[in-house]
Structure 1
Amino acid sequence: MNAPSSDLPADAEEVRRLLDAQDYLADQGTSTAIYLSLRLGLPLLLEGEPGVGKTAAAKVLAQALRVPLIRLQCYEGLSASEALYDWNYQRQLLSIRLAEARHERLSEADLFSEEYLLERPILRCVRYDGPASPVLLIDEIDRADDEFEALLLEFLGEGSVTVPELGTFTARRPPVVVLTSNRTRDLHDALRRRCLYHWLEFPSAERAVEILRRTVPHANVALIESASRFVGHVRTLDVDKAPGVAEVIDWVSALAAIGATALVREEVLATLSALAKTPDDRDLVAEAADSFAFG
């Protein structure tokens, strides 16, 4: 593959500024990981708890670089025909019938040609012909089967996809690839070795406040600060699903929607649906609201 484009950010600080302009507040570790991924042309594996901003990082990166985002959502049973490429079987069948009507014969090469190839997200990324590489988001790779990881190795290591009937397609420049994982299962070493790695932490209290001020600007600062402290307390409890950044944003938005200007027990209970995601967690958060020092 060719070298990375000279239009890429000059350093990690420029990455941070670009993301900041899109209202994504990245810390130094995240900015550096993204910069190195871009500069070295290597995939970036982002792991962390659900809701800490892994998927958002890829989306915002595409916006910051002004390139398309191609997303592959992973799930159990995901196959090559859904992720890499497939053939347009209906069109092939139609061509066979037309050839029969004309008393013509079609060879296998005639049927398995570019004309019938269906690009799925990964092959679409490899064959993208724009001025700069798109961002390919392989989201929640830990939800896919072990076998699917093996299908990714050629692409992650070489930026290429082999279609047996047509040959190997290789990206003209290193693709920008972000994989995310909630760590519901361990990923294989072969996949990890092909990626740069970064663990995305839940933000500090100060960063959480700044994120909320950006994403929920109609909520007042006192409410945001109290909500951030309360969530920090909830995350120390034995909850089934610790609230992530996404849940906190939804919760503060819900508080603002009901007209809350300061955090009090009654309004915590009224908006539990945005913060607690299991019956046990609802009970724990309600108990925490009974004893928490608001104000």
Structure 2
Amino acid sequence: MKDAQAVRHRLDAVDYLVDDGMAMALFLALRLGRPLLLEGEPGVGKTAAAKALARALETPLIRLQCYEGLTAGEALYEWNYQRQLLAIRLAEAHHTRLTDADLFSAEYLQERPILRAVRHSGPVPPVLLIDEIDRADDEFEALLFEFLGEAGITIPELGTFTARTPPVVVLTSNRSRELHDALRRRCLYHWIDFPEPARAVEIVRRAVPGATGPLIQTAVQFIGGVRHRELEKAPGMAETIDWVGALSVLGVTDLAADGVAQTIGTIAKTPDDRAVVAAALGAYQESPP
């Protein structure tokens, strides 16, 4: 894609709407071949960005979901120990002996997401999503340094594998902890804000085409106001879409309608937040703007 606007148009075609800043961040990541670290509040569309980019590029999405205790064997590669053990037993049955070189060969190598991305045959590079990197341990970040900097990984028994066509790498973080400076230096960076009202309305309209325009407008406006209250988890676009979808299924066209309060579990995910949102909805219904 020749420029940021081209990126924006391609993403628009797959129903992912971005602002100029996000379009430029994705364009530079593509053009420079650098990993892109996306941060922002939960629900602003970080994971969806990688998914949409894969659709726009018409290339596979390879996803690595991070969590505490994630290991190299789950993220990079692993040896197929069962097949190795079977090979040893077969060799013993035939009175032969296998060497380490026989056992630790490509035949017994199991690809995990990062090695799969490195060895992707192309011609279009895959999109590798390293999702919620902040949930992984500090030690796991260190495992990524070689890959993020050189688009390759080293397997001691086999050598270094370097991508012929470096994957498009998107990392996401909810900032539940600080990431290491060495990881940040290897990435381009973009902070995703909640979308402005007009873009939020268009996002919801595309996601819930059966909802009425007035319902979408008022729901987006209401949630925008709720985000400024004391909440444990401010509702994002995912929650907004779920809420409008639920209201649409129920045939609701106005937030003042009966039964709306029974749907706030789609946007409030803790008892305290539910109480706050319920109070805000009650005030809205008593004195709608």
Task: Give the TM-score normalised by structure 2.
Answer: 0.98
Q: Distance in 2 between matches of 1:91 and 1:55?
A: 35
Residue in 1 aligned with 2:138? 146
Paired residues for 1:149-188 under 5 Å: 149-188=141-180
Which residue is 2:197 aligned to? 205
Alpha-carbon distance between aligned partners in 2 of 1:205 and 1:266, rounded to the nearest angstrom:
25
Kept in 2, the 8 Å contact 1:45–1:180? The answer is: yes
Q: Which amino acid aligns with 1:200?
A: I
Contact 1:226 1:294 in 2 (8 A): no
> Which one of 92, 98, 103 corresponds to residue 100 of structure 1?
92
Provide the rounded CA distance (Å) in 2 between the counterparts of 1:226 and 1:294: 10
Offset at residue 174 of structure 1 (A): 2.4
Q: Show CA shifts across 1:147-195 (max 9, x none).
A: 0000000000000000000000000122200000011000000000000
How far is 1:265 from its partner? 5.9
Tell me the distance in 1 between the aligned counterparts of 2:68 and 2:176: 12
Deviation at 1:268, TM superposition (A): 3.0
Residue type of the alignment partner of 2:175: R
Between the aligned partners of 1:91 and 1:294, the Cα distance in structure 2 is 67
Q: Specify the code of the residue in structure 2 equivalent to 1:225.
A: Q
- The whole-number CA distance in structure 2 between the counterparts of 1:168 and 1:103 is 33
One-letter code aligned to 2:34: L
The one-letter code matched in structure 1 to 2:288 is F
1:132 corresponds, among 119, 124, 128, to 124
Instruction: Give me the TM-score of the superposition, normalised by structure 1.
Output: 0.96
Q: Using the TM superposition, give the Cα deviation of residue 261 of structure 1 relative to its aligned residue in structure 2, in angstroms.
A: 1.1
Aligned to 1:254: 246
What amino acid is the match of 2:182? A
Q: CA separation in 2, counterparts of 1:216 and 1:184? A: 30
2:77 counterpart of 1:77: no
> What is aligned with 1:294?
288
Gaps of 5+ in 2: none
After superposition, give the CA deviation of every residue in 1:47-72 in whole Å (9 maximum; x if it has no partner). Answer: 00001000000001000000000000
| Structure 2 residue 28 is the aligned partner of structure 1 residue 36 | yes
Q: Measure the CA separation in 1 of the matches of 2:165 and 2:33.
A: 8
In the alignment, is residue 189 of structure 1 matched against residue 174 of structure 2? no
* Contact 1:216–1:252 (Cα < 8 Å) also in 2: yes
State the Cα distance separating 1:233 from its structure 2 match: 1.0
- Cα displacement string for residues 18-59 of structure 1 (whole angstroms, at most 9, x for unaligned residues): 000001001100000000000000000000000100000000
* Contact persistence 1:42–1:174 (CA under 8 A): no
> Percent identical across equivalent pairs?
68
The aligned residue for residue 3 of structure 1 is none
1:27 is matched by which residue type in structure 2?
Answer: D
SS at match of 1:151: helix
Give yes or no for contact 2:123–2:165 (8 Å, CA) kept in 1. no
Instruction: Say what the alpha-carbon RMSD is for the aligned residues.
Output: 0.9
Q: Distance in 2 between matches of 1:268 and 1:237?
A: 20
Counterpart CA distance in 2 for 1:131 and 1:149 is 28
In the aligned structure 2, how far is the partner of 1:263 from the partner of 1:213?
17
Gaps (5+ residues) in structure 1? 1-8
> 3-state SS of the aligned residue for 2:211?
coil
